[in-house]
Structure 1
Amino acid sequence: MFRHQKELQFEVKVDRPDPMLARQVQEVLGGQFGEMTVMMQYLFQGFNCRGEEKYKDMLMDIGTEEIGHVEMLCSLISQLLDNASPEDQAEAAKDPVTASIMGGINPQHLLVSGLGGLPTNSNGVPWNGSYIVASGNLLADMRSNLHAESQGRLQVARLYHMTNDEGVRKTFRKMLARDRYHQYQWMAAIEELESKNGVVVPASFPPEAEEEAQEEAYKFWDLSEGEASSEGLWATGSAPDGTGHFEYVANPVAKGQIPNPKIPATEVHHDLDFKK
């Protein structure tokens, strides 16, 4: 059960309207790594979580918090759009640089949402459910969550430097702090899960089950010009789980055969064996 509380998680109060910034903020609302994505990702992971109750509880806690972040951003966008009008868009378009980069005010803020936030990114592309990851494997999902929070915080940090509005920046600072904590949170969960089952996903398919292919799990193939990649930890030393030692292969060679697929039936109309 969910219950809505009228107060926002943190205060959202802009110093002045800025319709073009509202368009930019849409990216961290409805973009690939926006708040809508992490909200749905954590909630679906929580809804489908099986096993230890603490993981489900944690996922539902953070997923519900992200609902609040979506509401905060919608409030921020609405305030940035206060008193916006079609005339504002025409005025912005007078500056060729602004017009070419921003295209003026997002017309959908005027035509579709009535000066409110939209489930789209900064270019008006609708949010897509394929952005979310909810695989049912806790370690795989937690790593995806760390990635999502890393990308999301990066985008908010970039937005922070795109405005001098102290009210907007105050909101962004709160989001940056929470996203920093969320990265800590996923790192802690990942460390705990790795200590239980190892660092490779899925743990239920162990290295020994790879049989004759095991040796391929430790070789770094240099397939680009230069040898700078040989200097990384991925090319020397031991694997993180201690099951083997990395080997740098400077000139890897193909180990498979040349494919020779059969020509399919003529009824497939591939024209491969067709002659006039």
Structure 2
Amino acid sequence: MFFHEPELQYEVTVEDPDPHFAKLLQQAIGGQEGEMRVAMQYMFQAWALPEEYEAYRNLLMETAVEELGHIELLATAVTKNLRGSPKEMREETDETAAAAAAMTGQNPRQFLSSGLSAMPVDSNGVPFDGSYVAASGNLAGDLYANVMAEAIGRTLATRLWEYTSDPGMEDLLSYLIARDTMHQNQWLEALESLEDPVPVPASFSQEEENQAVNYAFMSTRRDAQPDPGQPWTQGATPDGNGEFSYLAEQPGDGDGVPSEPDPSTYNDPQPDDQQR
């Protein structure tokens, strides 16, 4: 169940409306790094958790709904950047025309399809794709995915902050960047609260793993290389269940030649009587 208040989660002001920046902001809405991704991701993760994980379910749902508020903030910012600017497409100056058109030219669909409004698309106008959402049903795996999602989201927001010089947009992005910081830390803390967060899934018996390679860093060079002596080739593993080792070459065995296909697939390029 959701409730909505007309008040924004954070104030959105735009002093110098810029349709080019509106296009860039679309990435933070419907892009792979965007708020639609994390809102849907956290919701579907929460909906998969059974009763005994109620605390984590609440954590995920609270954050998911906060991310819905971020979509609203960004959509408001996009609309204010579009509707406060001249209706005609802005002409690029001669010295920056090529770069601006290639990188930040206004998305014509924001005028043609949405009447100078935000859309559920990325900065290239590509619709949001549900395949961005990581929700495996395994809490530990999903929490790791959430750390990554917040990390790339924060990276995007910092790049947008560097791009704009509008004080209102800098203020909004500063808020969103701060929330990404919090969310990264809360997911890491949630991982720490789990008894066995790695390897995922920890419930699978490690006795069934190939013991020769389960903690071995494997070199894929043609010629054998010496152990580089890095933390991931020697010493105790983070899960506490083994010791890192180094394999100078891949195990190697067998071949990849497939068996003959079913004739009904017509994979053979020529009839039998034409084969040599």
Q: State the TM-score, normalized to the length of structure 2.
A: 0.91
Q: Which amino acid letter does the alignment assign opposite residue 244 of structure 1? A: G
Q: Which amino acid letter does the alignment assign opposite residue 237 of structure 1? A: G
C-alpha spacing 1:98/1:220, structure 2 compared with 1 (3 Å): closer
C-alpha spacing 1:107/1:229, structure 2 compared with 1 (3 Å): farther
SS at match of 1:248: strand
Decide whether the 8 Å contact of 2:140 with 2:197 is kept in 1. Answer: no
The equivalent of 1:208 in structure 2 is: 207
State the Cα distance separating 1:52 from its structure 2 match.
1.8
Decide whether the 8 Å contact of 1:222 with 1:229 is kept in 2. Answer: no
Match of 1:270 among 247, 251, 267: 267
State the Cα distance separating 1:99 from its structure 2 match.
4.4
Q: Which amino acid letter does the alignment assign opposite residue 13 of structure 1? A: T
Q: How many residues align?
A: 270
The equivalent of 2:132 in structure 1 is: 131
Q: Which amino acid letter does the alignment assign opposite residue 261 of structure 2? A: P
C-alpha spacing 1:85/1:15, structure 2 compared with 1 (3 Å): closer
Separation in 2, partners of 1:267, 1:85: 62
The equivalent of 2:79 in structure 1 is: 78
Q: Which runs of 4+ in 1 moved over 4 A?
A: 225-229
Identify, as 1 or 2, the structure richer in helix. Answer: 1
2:234 pairs with 1:236: yes
Q: Deviations over 1:190-228 (max 9, x none)?
A: 1111xx125211111121122xx1121021111148959
Separation in 1, partners of 2:140, 2:101: 43
Q: Which amino acid letter does the alignment assign opposite residue 105 of structure 2? A: G
The equivalent of 2:149 in structure 1 is: 148
C-alpha spacing 1:198/1:88, structure 2 compared with 1 (3 Å): closer
State the Cα distance separating 1:83 from its structure 2 match.
3.9
Decide whether the 8 Å contact of 2:235 with 2:243 is kept in 1. Answer: yes
Identity of aligned residues (%): 39
Decide whether the 8 Å contact of 2:45 with 2:137 is kept in 1. Answer: yes
Separation in 2, partners of 1:61, 1:267: 54
Q: Which amino acid letter does the alignment assign opposite residue 119 of structure 1? A: P
Runs of 5+ in structure 1 lacking a partner? none
2:166 pairs with 1:188: no
Q: Deviations over 1:112-135 (max 9, x none)?
A: 111111101000111001100111
State the Cα distance separating 1:136 from its structure 2 match.
0.8
State the Cα distance separating 1:239 from its structure 2 match.
1.5
**Bigger mean CA deviation after superposition, 234-243 or 176-185:** 234-243
Residues 26-175 of structure 1 aligned to structure 2 (within 5 Å): 26-50=26-50, 51-85=52-86, 87-89=88-90, 91-92=91-92, 95-102=96-103, 104-175=105-176
C-alpha spacing 1:55/1:103, structure 2 compared with 1 (3 Å): closer
State the Cα distance separating 1:54 from its structure 2 match.
0.5
The equivalent of 1:222 in structure 2 is: 219
SS at match of 2:173: helix
Q: Which amino acid letter does the alignment assign opposite residue 256 of structure 1? A: D
**Bigger mean CA deviation after superposition, 25-34 or 48-57:** 48-57
Q: Which amino acid letter does the alignment assign opposite residue 201 of structure 2? A: P
Q: Which amino acid letter does the alignment assign opposite residue 265 of structure 2? A: V
**Bigger mean CA deviation after superposition, 67-76 or 80-89:** 80-89
Separation in 1, partners of 2:111, 2:256: 56
Separation in 1, partners of 2:56, 2:82: 39
Q: Which amino acid letter does the alignment assign opposite residue 172 of structure 1? A: L
Q: Which amino acid letter does the alignment assign opposite residue 185 of structure 2? A: Y
**Bigger mean CA deviation after superposition, 254-263 or 161-170:** 254-263
SS at match of 1:258: coil
Question: What RMSD in Å do the two structures reach over aligned CA positions?
Answer: 2.0
State the Cα distance separating 1:230 from its structure 2 match.
2.2
Q: Deviations over 1:5-57 (max 9, x none)?
A: 11111110011100000000111111001000001101111122213211111
Runs of 5+ in structure 2 lacking a partner? none
State the Cα distance separating 1:102 from its structure 2 match.
3.0
Decide whether the 8 Å contact of 1:20 with 1:102 is kept in 2. Answer: no
Decide whether the 8 Å contact of 1:28 with 1:152 is kept in 2. Answer: yes
2:247 pairs with 1:246: no
Q: Which amino acid letter does the alignment assign opposite residue 175 of structure 1? A: L
Separation in 2, partners of 1:271, 1:209: 40
